[in-house]
Structure 1
Amino acid sequence: MKSFVSLLLCLSLLNAKARQAKDPATLVQEWNVANNKQDIGTLTFLYDSEVLFYGSKLKKQDCIAGKLSIFKKYPILDQQIAGQIKSETQENGDVKCSFDKAVTINGATKTYASYLVFHQVNNAWKIVVESDLTTDANVEKRKMKAKGAVLCDVDGDGVKEYAYLTPAPIDTTQEMTCLDESCTSVIRFSNKAIPELRISNCLNAVVDILGDLNNDGKDEIGINPQWWTSCWSGYHVYTLKKGKWIDAIPAISTHCNQWEDGVKPVQKDPKRPGYVIIHYSMMIDDDIVTKTKSIPIK
């Protein structure tokens, strides 16, 4: 009996050493075969103790439970690696293997741009990320919606990106005090190549996507900064020029009355290209009125 157990241990060690010698691209093929054969043992060996599994950080056993659930739901499932496996070594030494995965279920085939990320643990490559670009896009979409993000095209490349505002940090121990002196809110974008837009003296705001006001093929952004006191505020219109945010027009003086009446502060002037019509608030004879004029836009 002891000799039999020893034999199993030796075989296990030999198997482990053989896998250690394999490069990540070869292990992708093993992962693919294991999925087709529903080989839980091999998948258990390939996964690290924690895996970013289609957008969720899971323990190894939870990844295996997820695989078992899929195998139970689709007992006849076929997936194939279509084309080449592209390997890329990341800055931290991990290796990302990207490939197209053709999955056939009930006779219908769908192809997913997929990837696995391998991390070296005790001289063995382990899967630390498993996902595909479709899942990543859906996860990102859910995250952006949770932040109240809005779609826009501020860089004019024809691809919509999300914009969302992070409010100024408030000091909860002191009344009407920010954690930074400038009380800065920040608009960030899902496309990290677009610079963030920092707005001082702004506790919070709703991001307005104004469309292409200046006919340069890019959306402009409008912000009505919130503050602790006063119904008066300056409405700002920003445009992205040569990679930098600038004021497209001078700030528009607005009052709560204007907003309560549903009067938007700015719109494109249909009769004058390069101009916008602004609606602004003024105090006249102890009365707050809304005025209108056409002004040039940058």
Structure 2
Amino acid sequence: MSFNRHVLAVLLSFGPLFAHADLNLTVSDEQQINVLVDRWNNVLNRVQGAQPQSLYADQVDWFGKVLPAQQVIASDREFLAKNKDYRQSIVSTLNIQPTGENDDRVLVRFVKRAGVDTDNEKNYPAELQLQKKAAGWRIVSETDAITRRNQHKNDETGVAKGKFDGTHISYAWMSDANPRTGSACTPDSDCDCTLWNSDPHIKPVNISQCLAGAIETLAGLDDSGRDRAVVFPEWWTSAMRVVYVYDIQQNQWIKTLPGFSMNINLQETATAADLVKRDPQQPGHVNVTQAIYDEVKEEPATQVINQTLLTLK
């Protein structure tokens, strides 16, 4: 799948800047949002005394369907009645960001670990959209990026699906946050990414100086059977990016190639398959097209280098 990364970078660099300026969340707002998310989590964990009635707005976009609040509550109750061992937990910080559409709405992103029993728990990139009503903050949308990817495969570039360990199908995605505060990134703050996997046994890894961008699955680079997760971090400024290639070995994310440069002006439609190709002459090697600066011509250019895929022994 190809897409214009230059346009994506522009949207990232301007959108959050203006949206944060218009949002003006108070300390009280942030506290209320955290309390609401905790209460939502408690309801789905059957915590005694947790009530769902004041969680939702009158209408809720619930996993792609617009439903009345009472129908959402009824659906949750029906699900919990059928799955008595279901449990969930929030395993990351809450990332509270403006939606970019309405001044009175925020998007709360976090990683949810959930399963119908302890042997079937998975990580999910959960998303709650909240709106400030007269009675307080209410949930107006609930979904997760994996569900959205499966509903709209061509539109969701933030989640990749593959056999990254060579055997089991899983999902990979990035989140980003200010490493000092855990809050949403701004152009004036540091920002690091975390690469997640839906398998809770795979520990997430940190990518420094990074805004969450696209991630693609690349198969067939060698005969290991492992798909690779090709990660395209974004940043506020500059056309230069660093691309990373990961797979899963020995139950951990492994960077299988050194990070390499990409110029989103010069390579704006390049896909993972364009940038990293199997070397048919040397098993375990790949040809990588990276961005460079041609000192003689004084202009950006590309060059192809040969790299060895890292394999743990």
TM-score (norm 1): 0.49
Structure of greater Rg: 1
Query: Normalising to structure 2: TM-score of the pair?
Result: 0.47
